[in-house]
Amino acid sequence: MLNTNTPYFPRASAEALITSFCAGHMVSVSRRMEVSADLKRMVGPDEVWTMCFRRPRPGGRMLGRFLERDVFVGMGLYLREDLAGAAYAEKARIIVDSWAERTEGLPYLGSAALSDYLGHVYMDRDQED
Model pLDDT for residues 48-104, shown as the tens digit of each residue: 999 999 888 778 999 999 999 999 999 999 988 888 889 989 999 999 999 999 999
Cβ within 8 Å of residue 109, ≥6 positions away: 47, 65, 66, 67, 68, 69, 116, 117
User: Which residue has better confidence, 115 or 8?
Assistant: 115
**Which of 48, 62, 67 lies closest to 105 in space, CA to CA?**
67
- Provide the pLDDT for residue 100: 94
| pLDDT of the residue at 2 | 47
Measure the CA–CA gap between 43 and 41, rounded to whole angstroms.
7
Q: Residue 3: is its pLDDT beyond 60?
A: no
**pLDDT > 90: percent of the chain:** 64
pLDDT at residue number 4: 53
The mean pLDDT value of the chain amounts to 89
Q: Residue 23's pLDDT is what?
A: 94
Domain map (residue ranges) of the chain: 11-127
- Tell me the three state secondary structure of residue 30: strand
Q: What angle do CA 49, 28, 75 make, to 5 degrees?
A: 25
Identify which has the larger pLDDT, 2 or 85: 85
DSSP 41-78: EPSSSTT-EEEEE-SSTT-EEEEEEEEETTEEEEEEEE
Query: Looking at residue 129, what is its pLDDT?
Result: 55
**Burial, 3: exposed, middle or buried (Cβ in 10 Å; 0-12, 13-18, 19+)?**
exposed
User: In this predicted structure, what is the pLDDT of residue 55?
Assistant: 82
